[in-house]
Amino acid sequence: MREKITKLITEVEAFAAETKDEVESFRIKYLGKKGVLADLFAEMKNIAPEMRKDFGQMVNELKVKAEDKLNGLQEVLQAAHDNAKQADLDLTLPGDPIALGSRHPISLVRAEILRIFGRIGFTVADGPEIEDDWHNFTALNFPENHPARDMQDTFFISQEGGKDSIALRTHTSSIQVRVMEKSKPPIRILAPGRVYRNEAISARAHCFFHQVEGLYIDENVSFADLKQTLLYFAQEMFGSDAKIRLRPSYFPFTEPSAEMDVSCQICKGKGCNVCKYTGWLEIMGCGMVDPNVLTNCNIDPEKYSGYAFGMGIERIAMLKYDVKDLRLYSENDVRFLRQFSSSN
């Protein structure tokens, strides 16, 4: 028996193969279910007990040798296969195309707004999406019982509605406060960002959207400066024949306050279903910064005045691209997104 196993070990060690089939028959012969090793293990019970340990060790040695040999042969075969594949590689073939993404319409419109105001000296400011009551409401002159503080509009994180409350910002006007608190006039900033409101999601409303806030504070800033700046913006954004009109409105943080309409670029003022046959489209709120807000931010309202405005990016994008369902902007359907290229 001993000799038989020694012979098998020599045989295994000496085995050489060139093809996959040869390697496979080696595996079946030695390591297969009915192979040499299976037979030897089955034989174990017929071996005299005092010889069994010795026998077991030898069979094991044979098993390890056979497995090592098989692994070695398989590696050699695999390497040969890989080499052959590499030889097949045609480096002159054109590469696989890489699918290029496109910029999101909201990013495109935001970049365009920042570019337009950048040309007349506005820099970009930023602020947190999780805000305290002071920056989102109190410093902006919101009366204590103002409905905008209501749970229906605001996603509170803690201390619902109170002066110590923390909430998701409901507008980017909070950034005005942050900028005024830490810088001295002249201030000329644009603050883009995401805002949140507790609203039912529909084609015309969403629980989050994007705004750009503008703020200009200096000596002798007047409503005429605001009007001219907004006319410049409207003509850059919608075309040199765009007209604007300002309607009186109310915001706690501006006095006087206005809403700005731009002439409908689709019907050129004649009336269509986009402008609901008025010839005008509302695009932003604006006004002269209320002296109370300046005082809250440690800016002397006797010396300085300023204007502010705020617009929704989705709203501008809807008008620019004629997309009427707000939900499309956040669903990330590539069939929608692919239609916008950065050259727009």
Which string of x and - marks every residue 191-230 that binds ligand DAH (by CB under 6 A)?
----------------------x-----------------
CB of 312 to ligand DAH, least distance (A): 8
Three-state secondary structure string covering 96-159: CCCCCCCCCHHHHHHHHHHHHHHCCCCEECCCCCEEEHHHHCHHHCCCCCCHHHCCCCCCEEEC
Q: Is residue 308 within the footprint of ligand DAH (CB under 6 A)?
A: yes
Per CB under 6 A, which region of 7-15, 38-46, 265-273, 302-310 contacts ligand DAH? 302-310
Rounded CA separation 215/249 (Å): 18
* Number of amino acids touching ligand DAH (CB under 6 A): 11
Helix, strand or coil, per DSSP, at residue 216: strand
Q: Which is nearer to ligand DAH, 70 or 308 (CB)?
A: 308
Identify the residue whose tokens are 């809250």. 296
Q: How many CB atoms lie under 10 A from the CB of residue 82? A: 10
Residues whose CB falls within 8 Å of the CB of residue 311, separated by 6 or more in sequence, listed in order: 113, 211, 212, 283, 284, 285
Half-sphere exposure of 57 (CA within 13 A, CB side): 5
Tokens (6 digits) for 248: 């009186």
Interface residue with ligand DAH among 127, 185, 193, 310 (CB under 6 A) is 310
Does residue 313 contact residue 209 with C-beta atoms inside 8 Å? Answer: yes
Q: Is residue 287 within the footprint of ligand DAH (CB under 6 A)?
A: yes
Q: Which is nearer to ligand DAH, 173 or 296 (CB)?
A: 173
Q: Which is nearer to ligand DAH, 58 or 326 (CB)?
A: 326
Give, as ranges, the residues between 232 and 261 that touch ligand DAH (CB under 6 A). Answer: 251, 254
Q: Is residue 286 within the footprint of ligand DAH (CB under 6 A)?
A: yes
Interface residue with ligand DAH among 127, 193, 285, 306 (CB under 6 A) is 285
Binding site residues, ligand DAH, CB under 6 A: 171, 173, 213, 251, 254, 285-287, 308-310
